[in-house]
Amino acid sequence: MSDMYKNIASDLSGKCACGIVLLFMLIAVTASFFVGDPAVIPEGGLPYKAPGYVIAKTGEVMTFGTDQIGRDVLAGVMYGARWALIVGFLATLISACIGISFGVVAGYFGDTDFKVNMVSVVIAIFLWSIMCFYVWYMNWGVWIMLIVFSLSSFVIILLLYKIHSNRLFIRFNIKNNLSLPLDFIILRLIEIWRAIPALFILLAILVAVNNPSLWTVVVVIGVLRWTSIARLVRAEFLSIRNMNYIRTAKSIGYSDFRIILKHGLPNAIAPLFVLFAFSVSSAIILEATLSFLGIGVSVDTVTWGSLMSAARQNYRAWWLVLIPGLCIFFLVLSLNVIGDRLAEQR
Amino acid sequence: MIPVLGIIIVLSYFMYQYSGADPVNSMLLISGVVADDVSSSNFEKEYKTIAKKIGRDLPLFYLSIVPSYFPDTLHRIVLPDKKRFSIKLLREYKNWENIDNYLGQLDRLNLESKDITLSQDLRQAIFQFNLKVSPKNLQRINASISKEINYVSDDLKIAFFDLKKGQELLNNNRSSFFYPKILFHKNRNQFHIWFKSILTGNFGVSLTDGRSVKSKLFKSLQWTLSLSILSILLASFLSICIGFITAYKKNSFVDKLIYFALFILFSIPLFWLATLMIVFFTSDNFGKWTNIFPSVGVFYTGEGSIFKQFAHNFSLLILPVFCMALQATAYLGRQVRSSILQQANEPYFLSALSKGMSRKSALWNHVLPNALLPFITIITAAIPASLAGSLVVEVLFNIPGTGRLMYQSILNDDWNMISIILIIISVATMLFYLIGDILYTYVNPRIKLES
């Protein structure tokens, strides 16, 4: 990790980029010490006042001016940093989890290496669909349902994978003679995912959801954008699966889990960091675009995008465009520089 | 490709169905029927007629998997409130016969309570009961009826006591066990009809204004395609120039400067760039000279061919095209540069130099054509991407294109429109990927189709 930092900060622009990201993190953490709640209109605040406006009643100085209903833009910008970083990193974390697991499965097992038997596949699919059915009609909440669905799918895949050592199967001489074409399935899934325009799906989901909050935006962005990570991880694993150290590990009898976690991932993760950096920046831009269009953000959540959307009703309010925009620009620029440095060192 | 397309069509159909949008309601709004207290029975009648006309009373799909206590004919209930209510009751009591009875009794109670002059108390109690069916609210009606037992009409009393009996029946015959049941619906289902009409090119009407989806879509596609083709042409021209210059003067000051500028441009969000342009270059708020472009206005979309309209609005299109082209150049320019530099490592470049060719003409004549090969896939992928990608620019500059149409339809829950646009964009994406691959193998035969 320190090695990576040395490579990023090898020249001035890299150092600046790291500094800017750290600065924004600092602002995000300490925002509540400097400014008040950005959603509250300060007493006597008037809408659309230029930077440096002093509220006559209380003598408070609005350093960055006020927005369309008279709220402090400085507070909004500082709290906006918090949201931008949360959205960027959390969404990337979610898409990384999904993307890495799909990519690993597709790349490591390929079309031929995941051997199962017909009986266990049929049983697993049957059990899984029965369980889905009962969960669906049990009147539990949406979140519990989603968690149960994803966990159970995971467990079923594990079972499929482990079931061949079951005594019962050995007793009845049921062999693993069916190779599940996981690579093919996951590639088709990625193909479908990429044919559908992400921004539209995002808009449609956020409009269809009742009272979406920024957390919904984070989850939806994260879930929608796993394909590029999955493709990269798959390519990495395809290239290392036939290397000697993996073959050796297999011949010693290491389990596939151990090989993937201890030997495969550490070697595949380095090129991923480049993608993570770009992914964080594009998630930030996507979220800003959404709140700029006024979708997915409630009125009392102030983000950089929602500040800028206030300028759409009044194009004379240049500070509402310039200040949050510069914040987004600098954060995204420095993340891109970091990504670029990481790509260069390879 | 065909199965992928099929999955996308099915997906968009189910998104339509489960989005919570109600097409019948929108169609009623267009035709001017409004739900209010006075004519609510009339509204229900109109609702049912239209729902029947567009086939909302049919099952959703070829088959459905439902719990054993669901009736086979649940889909015939078209009123969304009633449907939601019956499903809620079904999930709670799991006994359709009694629920069906109960619903009829509830309807009768509501009908009886409408005609006569009731006391405020009783009216409130019945209203509460309709909002939330619970023993407590039932008790409340009971209390207020027994209080004014002499004033309440006999019909209402009978209706109420029937309802009470029905409630008791429900409570006593609660069951908890259920198993999955598969129902087959053959061709008489909504998906089949919807899919058939799409295949025959009948896309239905838009739910915002009742105009046909096809004509709206066709008009908007003209705008988006002209916008995207113009910006892609401009961007390719710019990026080839920039890529060539930076690769030719590799590692010089100019190269570093342009590379840096492209990097900065790459990090500017498109919507910010567009807003900045609008704020600073369309008005004279910041000095006379900044008022360069016409302010964002209403497009002339009247009669006449697309070319005539285009000529009318040309000055309005400069800024959006410029924004989109700049954004694309930031990406493409770097691609061209690295592609040229990569090709310059190949032996044929060295042999061209050793023949005595100048570096410039060798780069221009031999390296550039090879370096532009990946360009084919990038550009063929960019055209379908721009159908969706121009959303922000179209919304900001008020261009009546596909992106803005989609944005407005999403805000208005116009799923007739959304699903068609989704399908068309997905088809276009896959088609252009295919065209790109074929072109690429045609131009560059070293690549075999099998990979």
CB A182 within 8 A of CB A109: yes
> Any chain A CB within 8 A of the CB of B434?
no
> Any chain A CB within 8 A of the CB of B90?
no
ipTM: 0.84
Q: Which of B176, B257, B410 to probe by mutation at the A interface, max A CB count within 10 Å?
A: B410
Mean pLDDT of A135-146: 77
Nearest to B269 among A199, A207, A328 (CB): A328
Chain B segment 177-196 residues within 8 A of A by beta carbon are: 178, 180
> Any chain A CB within 8 A of the CB of B443?
no
Mean pLDDT of A18-41: 89
Residues in chain B predicted with pLDDT less than 50, given as ranges, are 451
Closest residue, chain A, to B411 (C-alpha): A207
* Residue A336: CA count within 13 A, CB half-sphere: 22
Residue contact A336–B387, C-beta within 8 A: no
- Interatomic CA distance for residues B205 and B196, integer angstroms: 15
Mean pLDDT of A64-70: 82
Residues of A in contact with B387 (CB under 8 A): 197
**Residue A39 three-state SS:** coil
Closest residue, chain B, to A334 (C-alpha): B267
pLDDT at position B386, please?
83
> Any chain A CB within 8 A of the CB of B84?
no
A155 pLDDT above the threshold of 50 = yes
Q: B300 to chain A nearest CA, in Å? A: 22
Q: What are phi and psi of A310, to 5 degrees?
A: -65, -25
- Interatomic CA distance for residues A253 and A326, integer angstroms: 55
Closest residue, chain B, to A210 (C-alpha): B20
pLDDT at position B34, please?
67
Mean pLDDT of A90-96: 95
A115 pLDDT above the threshold of 70 = yes
- Interatomic CA distance for residues A108 and A259, integer angstroms: 10
Q: Of all helices (H) and strands (E), which one includes residue A62?
A: strand A61-62
pLDDT at position B300, please?
63
CB A71 within 8 A of CB A40: yes
> Any chain B CB within 8 A of the CB of A199?
yes
Look up the pTM and report it. Answer: 0.85
Residues of B in contact with A333 (CB under 8 A): 263-264, 267
CB B262 within 8 A of CB B409: no
Q: A204 to chain B nearest CA, in Å? A: 6
B77-99: per-residue pLDDT in tens? 888 888 888 888 888 888 888 88
Residues of B in contact with A189 (CB under 8 A): none
Nearest to B4 among A191, A288, A321 (CB): A191
pLDDT at position B40, please?
65
Mean pLDDT of A61-73: 82
Residue contact B267–A332, C-beta within 8 A: yes
Q: Taking the mean position of all CA atoms in its chain, how far away is CA A117? A: 35
Show Cβ contacts of residue A307 under 8 Å, excluding neighbours closer than 6 positions.
Answer: A67, A73, A76, A77, A80, A320, A323, A324
A346 pLDDT above the threshold of 70 = no
Chain A segment 7-26 residues within 8 A of B by beta carbon are: none
Residue contact B269–A137, C-beta within 8 A: no
Query: What is the interface size between A and B, counted as CB pairs within 8 Å?
Result: 115
Residues of B in contact with A316 (CB under 8 A): 283, 285
pLDDT at position B451, please?
47
Chain B segment 294-333 residues within 8 A of A by beta carbon are: none
> Any chain B CB within 8 A of the CB of A311?
yes
pLDDT at position A326, please?
94
- Interatomic CA distance for residues A284 and A90, integer angstroms: 10
Q: What is the mean pLDDT of chain B?
A: 83
- Interatomic CA distance for residues B386 and B272, integer angstroms: 18
